[in-house]
Amino acid sequence: MKKIDITTNINGIRLYSCIMNASGALCSTEKELSNLLKSSSGAIVTKSCTDKPRKGNIKPRYFEWDIGSINSMGLPNLGIDFYINFLDGITTNKPIFLSISGLSLEENYLLIQKANSSTKINAIEINLSCPNILKKKEILGYEFDTVYNFLKNVFRLNNKKHIGIKLPPYFNDNDIRNMAFIINKFPISFITCINSLPNGLFINSIKESTVIYPNKGFGGIGGTIIKSFALANIFKFSSFLRKDISIIGCGGISSGIDIFDHILCGASAVQVGTQFIKEGISVFDRLKNELILFLKKKKYYSINNFIGNLNKN
Ligand code: DHB
């Protein structure tokens, strides 16, 4: 029996499994990151960090139901110095992605410079889609001119790491075409799409109230119900992006077949958020087994055989 190869390559970064965590899901503390290091995930991405530590919003700030999740966390994180110190002290053969989400463009430049001084970080995932910062409601990824100027400044820095961006979901063709046009002008290694769908509301019908407290109950939606939006964004971006830019799929993965679908639409690796929080660290073993079983059935022996091969009817 031929061995099934689920290793992958994000613009030269080798992953022994194409399945990793999504930023924000159980990747904020030393304990959580240590658990991820021991797991079968193919890479690790950290919680989006800021320069200074943040406590985040009041609780309850995360809620999940059968087919989705809602959050308004408010960027709780231990600050970039913690993440760099922790990561520089570990030994691992897993690629490490540092997610950053500065509260201003200037803060992002500082975070990138700090990340460049680390020995262990392989890549920086710049979060252009954080929806939950009070007072600063705009999502950077929806401000096209600002993104262009921001990236110009980012690539003027003396970068030593792969740079990727995490994008919000887009809902029409033109937005994806325009964003891809901007991205194609820069030596970006990968994009991660999609972040949560912003400004959702989930309510408790019995209590007649919202289920999370911050932001009047509004929050980013993740989980099974966003999978179709993730697939649409991955598939569209893969047709407009330069071929050397890898796509990491994120959104609605809870089975091996979900992973297959993301890859078929153009993802080279996938991130798991809501389902990881629901199920815990064993999710990586289960998903890996399910993916391998499905590939056997389909007679695919490597994910490279079908990345982006969705039939266009
Ligand atoms: C938070 C939520 C996000 O969707 C994100 O991309 C970054 C941070 C948060 O509220 O902590």
Instruction: Determine whether the shortest distance from the Cβ of 220 to ligand 1 is under 6 A.
Output: yes
Any atom of ligand 1 within 6 Å of the Cβ of 132: yes
Give the model confidence (pLDDT) of 105-137 as tens digits.
Answer: 999 999 999 999 999 999 999 999 987 764 556
222 to 132, 200, 214, 250, 312: CA distances (angstroms): 14, 10, 17, 10, 27
Find how far residue 209's CA is from the centre of its chain: 30
Q: Is residue 84 part of a domain?
A: yes
Q: Residue 53 is encoded by which pair of tokens? A: 């530590």
For the chain, give the number of residues: 313
**Model confidence pLDDT, tens digit, residues 27-86:** 999 999 999 999 999 999 999 999 999 999 999 999 999 999 999 999 999 999 999 999
pLDDT tens per residue across span 169-189? 999 999 999 999 999 999 999
Cβ neighbours for 88, distance < 8 A, ≥ 6 positions apart:
118, 119, 120
Ligand 1 contact, 126 CB (< 6 A): no
Among 58, 62, 71, say which to mutate for ligand 1: greatest number of ligand atoms within 8 Å of CB: 71
Assigned domain for 3 exists: no
Query: For the domain that residue 86 is a member of, what is the CATH number?
Result: 3.20.20.70
User: What's this model's pTM, rounded to 2 decimal places?
Assistant: 0.98
Residue of 129, 238, 254, 268 with catalytic role: 129
Question: Is 44 part of any domain?
Answer: yes
User: In this structure, is residue 2 part of a structural domain?
Assistant: no
Let me know if 130 is a catalytic residue: yes
**Per-residue pLDDT tens over the stretch 7-24:** 999 999 999 999 999 999
As for how many domains the chain has, the answer is 1
**pLDDT at residue 13, rounded to an integer:** 98
28 lines ligand 1 (CB under 6 A): no
Residue range(s) defining the domain that contains residue 82: 8-305
Residue 135: what pLDDT? 55
What's the CA-to-centroid distance between 247 and ligand 1, angstroms?
20
Report which ligand 1 atom has the smallest distance to the Cα of 71. 10
Give yes or no for a cis peptide into 13 (omega within 30° of 0).
no
| Domain-located, residue 311 | no
Residue 261 lies in a domain: yes
Inside any domain, residue 235: yes
Query: Does ligand 1 have an atom closer than 6 angstroms to the CB of 77?
Result: no
Burial 248-261 (b: 16+ CB within 10 A, else e): bbbbbbbbbebbbb
Domain assignment present for residue 202? The answer is: yes
